[in-house]
Chain A
Amino acid sequence: MALAAAALAFALVTLFMPALGPLFARAWPDVTPPIYGFASFPELLLSHAEIVALASAAATAAALALGICATRPWGRDFRPLLGAVATIGQTFPPVAVLAIAVPVLGYGDVPTFVALGLYGFLPIVANVIAGLEGVPSSVREAAEGMGLSSWQILRDVELPLAAPVILAGVRTSVVIAIGTATIGSTVGAVTLGTPIIDGLVGDKLPYVIEGAVVVALFAIVADMVFERLDRYLRRHTGERGG
């Protein structure tokens, strides 16, 4: 299975990067040490994953909260603006959002986390709204008529039915976050982009390749995991053969 193969490659490369030292040394003999040494790749991965996970979790929580409010009868007034902000906001290049976070928050992990969270919020909230609004009105009417409370309808009917769409938004958000966190190393965050940037700046190609391969595999595996989740969810909302 593609996922297993990719995950295996990812794990091997990350954990055993030093073992590839001789390979890099042979191809680029004048770069020493051949393996990026400021931090080990598992450490870089952990730092990168931490920022992405925290930012995505915060973004998802905020997006769920605001998206649910915007689709309730009492919050409907804010729905058009929220939708417009989500659409227009996604036009902003992620690197610009990161760049703007710096004057306000300084350098390091914090602006990266905030930029990731802010930018990641947008595709998720757009999908929360789309997913919730996609629940057929007949289903909602039947649920209300049967005596389910608003909270029960949200929890047992609307959210499960909207789940695949919401997850697609989270998937987009996480993949973009992994990419933007890579650039975050330019503002001082410790991520898998650090060897890449250091390599580009110092003209040390092996570091660039090492960092690039690990982060590329990270992104690919993450995307594949979401794909699996998506298929699983769709099966359980009765969309495919049950």
Chain B
Amino acid sequence: MIELEHVVRSTGGRRVVDDVSFSVPAGAFCALVGSSGAGKSTTLKLINRLVPLTGGAIRIGSTDVASLPPEALRRRIGYVIQSIGLFPHWTVAQNIATVPRLLGWSEAKIGARVAELLALIGLEPSYAARFPRELSGGQQQRIGVARALAADPELLLMDEPFGALDPLTRTALAKELALIHRRTKKTIVFVTHDIDMALELADVIAIMHEGRLVQFGAPLDILERPASDFVRAFTGGASLGLKLLGVRRVADRIRVEPTSAGEPVEPSASLAEALSEMVVRQTDRLPVKGENGAPGGSVRLSDLVR
């Protein structure tokens, strides 16, 4: 749905984004990762033209981003930034309603949408009349996400949205984002320097280093077949095995056999979660829940290391 073709951005003679090409399918969650200065934020901003393109082309759907006036383009894209940037002089409801109002929605439609989004991000309707400064950082960023989704954009761009929050809130919001993604099926491009978050959330990961794209693929691909030493080191080096456990699912290792006693685990759970359960229950075998009425099976410790 988003295509970047030989995208180049240079400033002051230096190529900040150097011949980057990749394609994000519709409805996918794409994480753009790399260390500081890799060019990932810049690449994101090239998509909504906050930064002008030096070379190459970017297409959303079949539309070249350069063919639309920038404001019109941005109103079709949700944008969430690390510093949140809620308008302090407007209520939560007014903040969320920003783009719908720009697009001329009726007051009734806007009101309904605000209520819908507050429910989506898990906040009480009473929050609508509050001001941003009354809210915690986590709540503010939730509003930031709601604001980005307000006009029902086809695409959501997120630039290290949880970077300014404490670790606990960060984890909670990441989980919520995953849920929102599943429910709304939006295409999301998510910039982060945290490879673990990317592995957790993304359907497809683009790894950048010094302006170039070094690998693009599903989390499992990246972990199992790193394209270079840099990718191998970046994705975790010594703890690679633990990350693999985090990405692989129980459903991939399920054995069809009579289940043992105990609380069954979900087939969608990660092998890491299964391992953790095994340690806690002091067993080397866990029952797995059946899906859609089908009988379940089990997963064994020895299967984890296959």
Contacts and interface: CB of A to CB of B under 8 A. Distances in A.
Given A138-B84, A238-B133, A146 B89 contact: no
Nearest to B150: A146
Interface string B229-254: 00000000000000000000000000
Contacts of B50: 141, 144-145
A138 B74 contact: no
A139 B88 contact: yes
Interface in B33-92: 48, 50, 70-77, 79, 81, 83-91
Contacts of B259: none
A148 B79 contact: no
Contacts of B133: 238-239
A160 B83 CA distance: 20
B74 A146 contact: yes
Contact of B86 (A139, A140, A144, A149): A139
B71 A149 contact: yes
Contact of A238 (B70, B85, B90): B90
A55 B158 CA distance: 49
A167 B158 CA distance: 36
What's the interface size class on B, roughly?
20 to 34
Q: Is the interface of B mostly helix, strand, loop or mixed?
A: mixed
A147 B74 contact: yes
Contacts of A149: 71
A1 interface: no
Nearest to B101: A156
A147 B73 contact: yes
Given A147-B72, A147-B99, A238 B81 contact: no
Contacts of B77: 147
Q: Is the interface of A mostly helix, strand, loop or mixed?
A: helix
A128 interface: no
Given A148-B71, A238-B132, A141 B81 contact: yes
B172 interface: no
Contacts of B74: 144-147
Nearest to B129: A242
Interface in B162-220: none
A87 interface: no
A146 B86 contact: no
Given A145-B79, A147-B71, A161-B89, 18 more contacts: A136-B83, A136-B85, A138-B83, A140-B85, A141-B50, A142-B81, A142-B85, A146-B74, A146-B75, A147-B70, A147-B73, A147-B102, A148-B71, A149-B71, A157-B87, A160-B89, A161-B87, A238-B131
Question: 10 tightest CB-CB pairs across the interface, nearest first?
Answer: A142-B85, A147-B74, A138-B83, A147-B75, A145-B79, A138-B85, A237-B89, A238-B131, A242-B131, A147-B71
